Amino acid sequence: MEISEKWIRHYSSKHKILLVGEGNFSFSLCLASAFGSAMNITATSLDSEDELCTKYMDAMDNINILKRYGCDIQHEVDVHTMSFDNSLSLQRYDRIVFNFPHAGSRFFGREFSSRAIESHKELVRGFLENAKEMLEEDGEIHITHKTTYPFSDWGIKKLAKGEGLKLLKKSKFELSHYPGYINKRGSGGRRSDDYFPVGECSTYMFIQS
């Protein structure tokens, strides 16, 4: 008997999903809970397992549940080099997802500076450059991002166009759509485990041109 397809917003239990830049892995767990399985999910963090334990109170609990769901968990994955990582690059994904990319705690409180904006743009550009090499033919790259100034100055759509990608859809992001997802500041420091207000934000969905 074929298992029925389950959806949560833009994501299906039949999609092969790669999540990058996970903090406490609560977004991954939200999807897995909705699907009743995580066999279709690869969830990654830039942090090592030890760093996650230091930064996030609930990260390891979430990871252990994800593993029971069958999730592929990988640490120390850099979005700028992931297309060369054999544990990831030998596969192709229907959805590659990066929620709230950020270039690091050194820019907290300095988001208006040109240096901060350029660093954030470089992070996103490198992610897109790698992600496009890892997509299925009709796959999508999703970036959830704040849409108000100064975050709007990152020029997400322009960065994607520069990588040969085009905007398929832009959808307003609401935390309530993803039960259990708790966005964290991350990036080191004493406030890594703090929640941050998402404000007005959207999920940008890109495809190959």
Least Cα distance to 184 among 32, 48, 49, 27 occurs for 27
Q: How far is CA 136 from CA 5, 93, 205, in A?
A: 19, 5, 14
pLDDT, position 89: 82
Distance in angstroms (rounded) separating the CA atoms of residues 78 and 56:
19
Residue 87 — pLDDT band, cuts 50, 70, 90?
A: confident
Mean pLDDT of 37-57: 93
Mean pLDDT of 93-119: 81
Q: Which two tokens stand for residue 168?
A: 């398929």
| 22 has a pLDDT exceeding 70 | yes
Residues paired with 99 in a beta bridge: 144
